Structure 1
Amino acid sequence: MSGKSIIFAISHKHAMRIEKSFNRLYPEYKGYLARVIDSHDPRANTDGGLLDQFKDPNDPLKVAISVDMLDTGVDVPEVVNLVFAKPVFSWVKFWQMIGRGTRLCKNLFGHNKDKEYFLIFDHWKNFEYFGETPQGRAHQVEGASIPERVFTARLRLAESLLHSNDKNLKDFIISELRKDIEALPKGSVVVKDGAAHVAQVMQETFWAGFSDHAVHFLRNNILRLMRSRQGEDFDSLMFDIDVMDLERGLLTNDQTLIASMTEKIIEKVSELPLTLNQVLAKEQIITSVILLMI
């Protein structure tokens, strides 16, 4: 079998399902044909690990199922197939991922039979998305702290709710934004520097008739202060981000976002350890959530 393939998966659990499908369909390869390469395996990127095996043109590992690890910066000239089994929202990252297939490879298919092209299987209509949204999703927060990302997710959801009739959800998100601001450490130098802006948003008048202007003000003047928040349950906050992105997808009927967030939430909920009493006590709720989202 000449050439190699990279499948870009949504999550570790998604990648494992793909690997199991390969093993079921091609038992003659005894599990060596396709392997998941992601951060769940601490040896994946070590000497002689799965990544090195995939780079070796003579290794039986021909299909790498990647969760972020092979998206950028990996040079495997033998790659002739790229499979987008996940949505991509960053225009720059999308083209970096495509770059995994652009490397030339001499004699790949035999003597004087060089690699002249590669194939892209785009199951999530990423090309269509970037045709409609050439620069990707707006307001990407690269390298932001988790509290900043949470605040950004709340702002995006609030923005989607500006013209919604769902008053309860709108009031809830505004309440959460206000709690985030109230939780800012007043002794922080960063917060002190932004004290005038904080004082402005602490006024009831700021929140009356919440509008685009308010969202713009919070994004430009308050968001950066969230970096000063420390000592919080970041795993819980990351889950909050996923839930808010799902809510936003439902509000805007963004089917790609809905599918992506549903997959992530199901994975996180299903991996909760039932060996812990506090988790076991919520087993019925956990099961209900998973069944509801499948």
Structure 2
Amino acid sequence: MRILVTGGAGLIGSHLVDKLMEKEKSEVIVADNYFTGSKDNLKKWIGHPRFELIRHDIIRPLFVEVDQIYHLACPASPIFYKYNSVKTIKTNVMGTLNMLGLAKRLRARILFTSTSEVYGDSLEHPQKETYWGNVNPIGVRSCYDEGKRMAETLMFDYHRQYGIEIRIARIFNTYGPRMNIDDGRVVSNFIAQAIRNEPLTVQLPGTQTRSFCYVLDLVDGLTQLMEGTDTGPINLGNPGEFTMNELAKAVQELINPEVQISEVENTPDDPRQRKPDITKAKERLGVPRT
């Protein structure tokens, strides 16, 4: 089995590579442009005879021979995806078109990592896969939100028109080792501020919620989805829900009880509630890691 992982140098991608490389008969190819990923995340595999690392931006076609494609490439932190919004939407649309073209040529199965952001500032709680979302199509986050929604559309169009085997995972907030400490996501942001003895900046009103999944549990879900028969979309995440005030207090207690918590203005279109309904994942992907 030859497997391509786009975005394999990132948080989720590098842990996925670890899991795939543990299969003795798997050969893994990683394509990454290092816009947000790091080669250091893959250093344990560099030089391994079953591993290949390609510096490549998927907005350009990629010609490799593989059996499966895990398509993860895209900046996931608001700081990064808003920094170059045009590149973000190109990655989601042109990059996905290129990966689908590769899958079509090779008749390879392709898994696309979508996001809970497709639900936008949700009017349904918790969010089920059947919910169509409440997304601002011209907002500062839409390069990511709408880009992922368009990529899902492309996945299903290729599936219906060309019979491509597709899998779609809608990933909720994920944390774990190899997070970029300065990427602006709330878990790494609070931890970095506590370590640096800086105030933990909670965006107003502080009652907005998120649900956080450990990266290894998420990777288990991705591989089970790839090996299963369901096209998705399937929510992957932890239904445990925290307000940002609760998260800040937890980090304060664990890392630096002396640090202050301060309130700052929120960013536009920030979702007020985020909690996955994972009924479908439990029914179709088996029992999660304990």
Q: Report the TM-score, using the length of structure 1 for normalisation.
A: 0.31
* Larger strand percent: 2
Say which one has the larger Rg.
Answer: 1
* Larger helix percent: 1
Q: Report the TM-score, using the length of structure 2 for normalisation.
A: 0.31
